[in-house]
Amino acid sequence: MNPQQALRGARVTFLGIVRADWWGDRKVGALCYEAYPEMAEYQMDRLVEKAKIRWLLAEVFIQHRLGRVDVGEVSMVVTVVTQHRAEAYAASEFLVEGIKRDVPIWKRNEYDDETSQWV
């Protein structure tokens, strides 16, 4: 067996999907994401490096959309491959929470009444 194959016992993929939340009496119809791409990529790379220190990751993939994302569409994908499922779940959660907390991606709610608000 290839030694790299021994590290591939679990794959966890997280899909962040825009949901139709209510803010008061307004329903979210879409989210608009903006970012400083170079800084966002840098911060995501830092998160991946931190995850690699904590877990033995065979693969990592992160993608976050920018621009308008309608309700029901995928806004973020995080995939990790590790030797065991517990590590895969933990690494995935670490990356998702880190992206939300540390990566400079800004979100604006677009409501069904054609108003919008930065959140």
Give the integer Cα–Cα distance in Å for 77 and 28.
Answer: 21
Sign of torsion, CA 87 91 94 100?
negative
What pLDDT, on the 0 to 100 scale, is given for residue 23? 82
Pairing assessment for the beta strands 67-70 and 26-35 based on DSSP bridges: antiparallel
Query: Do 45 and 9 touch, CB atoms closer than 8 A?
Result: no
Q: Mean pLDDT score of the chain, rounded to an integer?
A: 94
As a whole number, mean pLDDT of residues 44-67 equals 97
What stretch of H or E contains 59?
strand 57-64
Sign of torsion, CA 45 51 53 56?
negative
What pLDDT, on the 0 to 100 scale, is given for residue 3? 57
Domains, the chain, ranges and CATH?
A: 5-118 (3.90.1170.40)
